[in-house]
Chains A and B, each alone.
Chain A
Amino acid sequence: MTDTVPHITSPFSKPANDNSRMANPPAGAGAPPSGVPSADGTLRGKKLPENVTHFVRILRRSGLQVGPATLIDCVAAVRQIDLGNRSEFYHALACCIVKRPEDRLVFDQAFDIFWRNPKTLERMRDLMLPTMRRETEEDEPEDPMLRRVDEAVRPPDDDYNDNQSGEEIKFDSVLTASQTERYQEMDFQMMSALEVSEAEKAIDRLVLPIPQRPSRRAIPKHGSGQMSLKRTLRRMARQAGLPIPVFEQQQTKPRPVVVICDISGSMERYSRMLLRFTHALTQRRGRVHSFLFGTQLTHISHEMRDRDPDAAMQAISSYVKDWSGGTRITSAIADFNMNWSRRVLGQGAVVLLITDGLDRDPDGALAHEMDRLRKSCHRLIWLNPLLRFDGFEPKSEGVQKILPHVDSFVPIHSLASIGQLADILSASMNSGWRDKSMAGWMDRLYDIQHEASMLNTDISQTGAPRPGSLNPEGSA
C-alpha cells in the first residue's frame, strides 16, 4: 500500500495547472518510487497517464462512477503489467474501473473505440449524447429542475394560490386535515392537472412505515428484557467486580422493499402517481428496489435515488421505453424471478406488485411465476387500482392467476388508499401472516371458477353433473 502513494503525482503533474489542490504532492513523492521500472517507466510515463485520464473522463461522462482514486489506481495498475499485451492492459483497467457486471458493456465499448483512436470516441460522444449540452444551455425553460429552482427562488405568490385553488391546501404527513378530505378520496384518474400536482406533493411528504424484521443483533435496554451475560461481565470488569445485570433486547432492522409497477396504457394515470409514491419510499430509506414493466422489465432503483422527485421522474421517463403500451405481466415477472429475485429479495423482502392484472401475454405460465415470486419473498402485496369499483370481481384470467398467490390485495387509486397501505406495511408481519380479507377473495374466486366450469360442462355434456366436484355454499 505504501507502494501506491508515490504514483499519485505522476498522472496529475501535467493537468495540475487547472487544479490547485493537486499542486502539493504528498511528502516523499518527489523521488521516483523504487517499485516502478525506471527507464521504461519514464518513457511510457509521459503519454500513458494522460491517455488513461482522458479515457476515465469519457467513461465518467458515459455514466460510470469513476472517482479520482480510481484513476490513480488505473495509472498504478498499468505500470505493473506488460503494456505490450493488449489483453492484459484491458483487464488491468477493467478490474480497477468496472465495479459491477452491468458496467462491463459500457467499458468494453469505450475501451474498444478509445484505444483504437481516442479522437473518434470523443467525436461520437458529442454526436450521440445530447445531454452533454447541459453545461451551456442554462436557460432551457422546459427543464423541471430549473422550474423547481425558479419556484424556490421566487417569493410565494398569494394571488396565484387564491385564484387557482380557492383554498389554502395544507397537507401533513398523516393526511387527516379536513380540507384535504376531497383529495383523500378522489380517484387519481379524475384529478385535474393542478390536483395531480397537489396530490404529488402530498405523496412526497408521506411518512411511510417501513416493515421491520428481527435482527440477529441485540441492543442494551434499561429495566427488563433478557439478561446479557456478555454485557454484564463487561460492566463488572469496569466496575471493579460489582455484579449489576445488564439487559438487552433484540434489535429490529428494516426489510428491503421491492416495487414492481405496471406502466402499461391501462395504468397510465396511476403509475405516474405510484412512481411518486415509490420515490417517497426510496427517499425514506436506502433499500428500496424499483422496477417498471410494460412489455419488458426495467430496473429504475438508481434513478429513484435522486432527491428531487421531478428530476427522478424525468430521468425515468427518458430511460424507460415502453410507456403506455401493452402489458406482458408473465414475461416481466419471469424476468424478475430469473435475473433479479436472488439479488434483491434477500433478507426477507416485501414485494409491492402494482398492476391491474390485465395480462396481454399469450403465454399461460403466469400462475407458475407468481407462485415462485411469492415463495422467494417474505410478503407479496398486490396493489390494484381497479379495486376501487365496489363490484370488482376476479373475473379476468390474469387476476384469477395472480390472486391465489398474494398475501394482500388492496386498492391503490387515491391518497386514502395509499394511507391504508401504510397500515398494511406496519402491521405485524409474522410468518404465515396473510391478510384476513384474502379468505373472502379466495371464496369469490372459487365461486366464479366453479360457475365457469359448470357452464362449460353444461355446454359440452348437456347438463350432466360434474363428478367429484366440491360444492360448498356460495358465500358471495
Chain B
Amino acid sequence: MIPATVASLSESMAAQDYVLSEGLAVSLFLALRQSRPLFLEGEAGVGKTEVAKTLAALLDRRLIRLQCYEGLDINAAAYEWNYARQMMQIQSAGQGKLESADLFTEDNLIERPLLEALREDARGAPVLLIDELDRADEAFEAYLLEILSDWQITIPEFGTVAAATPPIVIVTSNRTREIHDALKRRCFYHWVDYPSLDDELDILQRKAPEAGPELSQQVVRFVHRLRDMKLFKAPGVAETIDWAHALVELDCLAVDPATADSTMGVLLKYQDDISRIRGTEAARILAQVQTEILG
C-alpha cells in the first residue's frame, strides 16, 4: 500500500498531479514508513495542505482535517460529551438510579477530528491534517503531544482511547509564530520552499493544462524573477496557477506588459509590492523573460 521506495512515492504522487521536491519526498517517505507525524512549514501557497489531500487520495484513505484557529479547544478539536442526551437519560431514569459510568459512555461521546482520527477505519488509518497550527494557542500544542507521540487521547471521565493503527499525520504552519520544540521533536520536519523552475513548469502543466507551453514558460519565469526581488510577499505556487488561469480566461496567448499590469493583483497581494512592480518594472522583467526563453 505505502510505496516501497522514495522514487515510487514521487511517481505515484506525480500521478495524482502533485510534484514532490526531493527533500519533501524523502521526508514524506520516512514519515509514512515510520509512522511519524510530518511537520511542514513554509510560506503561504507552496502546497503544504495539498500534500495531505493528495496523500489521502493516493492511499485511498479518509482525510480528516482540523483547521486551527485561536481559541480552539478540546471540545472542538478532540471530543465533547453529549449533554442533552445525558440530561434525557437522567430524566428518564429518575433519581438515584444512574451511576456516572452509565452517563459517560461511548454513545454519549461526540467525536471531533482528533478522536475520529484514532478510530478504526475500513479503508485503513486515516490521514489527519492539522492545518495552520501556528494559529492555535500554545496551550493546544501541549495537548497534541500525547496524541502525536502515543496515538492516544485520555478522557478523564471515560479512559484512554488509543489508535490500533496510527493515523498518517501532516501538521502545517505558516510560521506566524514559532511552534514549541517539544512538538517539533516528535515530528519529521521539512521546510517547504518554492519549487525549482522545472518543477513549477511541471506543476503548472498539470494544474493548468489549458495554458500552452509558451504561456506557461512566461508565467513561471516571470514569477521566479519576482521571487528574487525581495518583495514583502512573494507569489506562491497557488498564485502562479491562479495567474495562468486568469490569463487563459482573458484569452492571452502570451503575456504583454498591459495584461501583466492589469492582472498583477492575482500575483501580488500587497499594495506596496504592486506599485513597485506595476508599469516599467513589469515590462522590464517581461523583456528579460522573453530573451531568456529565446536564448
Contacts and interface: CB of A to CB of B under 8 A. Distances in A.
B34 A237 contact: no
Nearest to A67: B185
Contact of B27 (A91, A256, A342): A91
B151 A1 contact: yes
Chain A interface, >50% SS class: helix
A236 B98 CA distance: 13
Contacts of A343: 175-178
Contacts of B196: none
A240 B177 contact: no
A238 B104 CA distance: 10
Interface in B14-72: 22-23, 25-27, 29-30, 33-36, 41, 70-71
B23, B71, B103: residue with the most chain A Cβ atoms closer than 10 Å: B23
A62 interface: no
A96 B188 contact: yes
A82 B23 contact: no
Nearest to A341: B232
Interface string B70-105: 110101000001011011001100011010100100
A233 interface: yes
Contacts of A386: none
A261 to B, nearest CB: 20
A346 B70 CA distance: 11
A16 interface: no
Contact of A237 (B33, B81, B137, B166): B81
Interface stretch (A98-106, A169-177, A394-402): A98-106
B123 interface: no
Nearest to A243: B87
A1, A237, A253, A344: residue with the most chain B Cβ atoms closer than 10 Å: A237
Contacts of A52: none
A341 to B, nearest CB: 9
Interface stretch (A69-77, A193-201, A408-416): A69-77
A95 B37 CA distance: 11
Contact of B26 (A91, A104, A217, A337): A91
A80 B29 contact: yes
A99 B184 contact: yes
A104 B191 CA distance: 10
Given A80-B33, A80-B34, A346-B134, A95 B177 contact: no
A92 B71 contact: no
Given A87-B22, A240-B90, A241-B87, A3 B34 contact: yes
Contact of A95 (B23, B91, B175): B23
B34 A77 contact: yes
A67 B181 CA distance: 11
Nearest to A301: B178
Contacts of A3: 33-35
A217 B30 contact: no
Interface string B129-151: 00000100101000000000001
A70 B189 CA distance: 12
Interface string A296-331: 000000000000000000000000000000000000
A81 interface: yes
A234, A241, A337: residue with the most chain B Cβ atoms closer than 10 Å: A241
Interface residues of A, number: 47
B259 interface: no
A334 to B, nearest CB: 10
Nearest to A4: B34
A239 to B, nearest CB: 9
Contacts of B27: 91, 94-95
B5, B25, B30, B90: residue with the most chain A Cβ atoms closer than 10 Å: B30
B53 to A, nearest CB: 21
A94 B22 CA distance: 12
A347 interface: yes
Contacts of A67: 185
A150 interface: no
B145 to A, nearest CB: 13
B30 A80 contact: yes
A216 B70 contact: yes
A237 B84 CA distance: 9
A372 to B, nearest CB: 8
B111 to A, nearest CB: 17
Interface string B108-141: 0000000000000000000000000010010100
A88 B6 CA distance: 8
B181 A65 contact: yes
A95 B188 contact: yes
Given A95-B190, A253-B137, A101 B41 contact: yes
Nearest to B188: A95
A347 B84 CA distance: 35
Contacts of A77: 30, 34, 188
Contacts of B35: 1, 3-4
Nearest to B134: A346
A237 B86 contact: yes
Contacts of B87: 233, 236-237, 241
Nearest to A346: B176
Contacts of B185: 67, 69-70, 99
Interface of A: 1, 3-4, 65, 67, 69-70, 73, 76-77, 80-82, 85, 87-88, 91-92, 94-96, 98-101, 104, 215-217, 230, 233-234, 236-238, 240-241, 253, 256, 337-338, 342-344, 346-347, 372
Given A69-B185, A237-B86, A343-B177, 16 more contacts: A1-B166, A77-B34, A77-B188, A80-B29, A85-B6, A91-B22, A91-B23, A94-B27, A95-B190, A216-B70, A217-B137, A236-B87, A237-B90, A240-B95, A342-B176, A346-B176
The 7 tightest CB contacts between A and B, nearest first, are A216-B71, A91-B26, A233-B83, A95-B27, A346-B176, A237-B86, A95-B188
